């Protein structure tokens, strides 16, 4: 092979790509090439991608997303207890913000890149710090699809332990809908004001959804302002981090909540609604 032949320049023009995942993966490639050309010491998520030739931005399995959306609609529509529904909605509005903060603390941890199971999610998550606009550039179905595996795991625990009852479907419906709202809210903080739907801006102005400036604090300092649904639990997360900074505590908390939070919600509802 003739080493004088220059490698073809990488086409990184956005308009050259039909799928934004492909464009973002090209940006990843260029970022790594620049770092190695300049002899830069790569941070763990970049070194891992360089060593494993991993595609950071993935096309997600859309039928699963459509199935979850249908499950949300069914779970909410089939309940005959509007008071319990309202209670779950308000409770989860605050809880899922907290859970998103715990998840974010765990997946931002550079030491977890090498762990089994959560290593790849950590890598993909941490690239968001390099390309914050990724979440507003990819299709919403892909951004929701980033939760596919997490929701599958949660569903196995939830339906496996609680069965296919009306309460279980309601908890799943509200929980997953707010999980998708969480992704949407984060996406909106990285969407240019002119491109944001008016309703999203209205919700941000009333702090019902995460205020962009509050989230941008995290992009300036990766150690603060973790939650992304509404940000109301960021003070709590920060206090907890001050008391227990150990990453493995947060990993254990994340695993525990992932497996049993929705199960606990069903048990609480069944206890109080039948008491």
- Residues in contact with Zn ion by CB under 5 A are 108
Task: Residue 126: name the closest of 138, 114, 116 by CA.
Answer: 114
CA separation for the pair 56, 29 (Å, rounded): 10
Give the phi and the psi of residue 174 in degrees, each rounded to 5: -70, -45
Nearer to Zn ion by C-beta: 108 or 124? 108
| Minimum distance of Zn ion from residue 105's CB (angstroms) | 9
Q: How far is the CB of 219 from Zn ion (least distance, A)?
A: 6
Q: What angle in degrees, to the nearest 10, is found between the helix axes of 247-274 and 148-162?
A: 40
Nearest approach, Cβ of 221 to Zn ion (angstroms)? 10
- Residue 13: DSSP 8-state: -
Kindly tell me the burial class for residue 64, based on how many C-beta atoms sit within 10 Å of its own C-beta (0-12, 13-18, 19 or more).
Answer: middle
State in angstroms the smallest separation of the CB of 18 from Zn ion: 25
- By beta-carbon proximity to Zn ion, the closer residue of 45 and 261 is 45
- Closest to Zn ion by CB, 25 vs 191, is 191
Q: Which is nearer to Zn ion, 79 or 100 (CB)?
A: 100
What distances in angstroms separate CA 93 from CA 90, 219, 233, 265, one per listed residue?
Answer: 5, 23, 11, 13
> Is the Cβ of residue 97 or residue 108 nearer to Zn ion in the bound state?
108
C-alpha dihedral sign at 40, 17, 194, 200: negative
Token representation of residue 272: 């109080």
CB 236, min distance to Zn ion, A = 17
């Amino acid at each position: 092979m003739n080493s004088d032949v220059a490698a073809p320049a990488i086409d990184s023009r956005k308009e050259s790509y039909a799928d934004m995942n492909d464009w973002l993966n090209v940006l990843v490639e260029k970022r790594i090439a620049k770092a190695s050309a300049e002899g830069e010491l790569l941070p763990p998520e970049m070194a891992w991608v360089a060593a494993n030739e991993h595609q950071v931005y993935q096309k997600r399995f859309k039928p699963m997303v459509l199935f979850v959306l249908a499950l949300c609609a069914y779970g909410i529509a089939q309940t005959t207890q509007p008071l319990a529904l309202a209670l779950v909605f308000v409770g989860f509005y605050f809880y899922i913000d907290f859970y998103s903060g715990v998840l974010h603390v765990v997946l931002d941890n550079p030491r977890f890149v090498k762990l089994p199971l959560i290593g790849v999610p950590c890598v993909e998550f941490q690239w968001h710090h390099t390309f914050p606009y990724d979440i507003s550039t990819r299709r919403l179905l892909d951004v929701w699809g980033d939760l596919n595996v997490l929701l599958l795991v949660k569903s196995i625990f939830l339906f496996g332990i609680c069965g296919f009852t009306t309460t279980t479907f309601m908890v799943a419906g509200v929980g997953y809908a707010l999980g998708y709202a969480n992704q949407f809210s984060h996406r909106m903080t990285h969407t240019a004001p002119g491109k944001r739907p008016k309703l999203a801006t209205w919700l941000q102005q009333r702090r019902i959804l995460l205020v962009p400036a509050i989230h941008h604090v995290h992009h300036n300092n990766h150690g603060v302002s973790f939650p992304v649904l509404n940000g109301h639990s960021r003070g709590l997360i920060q206090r907890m981090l001050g008391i227990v900074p150990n990453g493995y505590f947060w990993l254990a908390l994340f695993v525990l909540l992932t497996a049993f939070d929705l199960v606990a919600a069903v048990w609480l509802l069944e206890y109080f609604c039948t008491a």
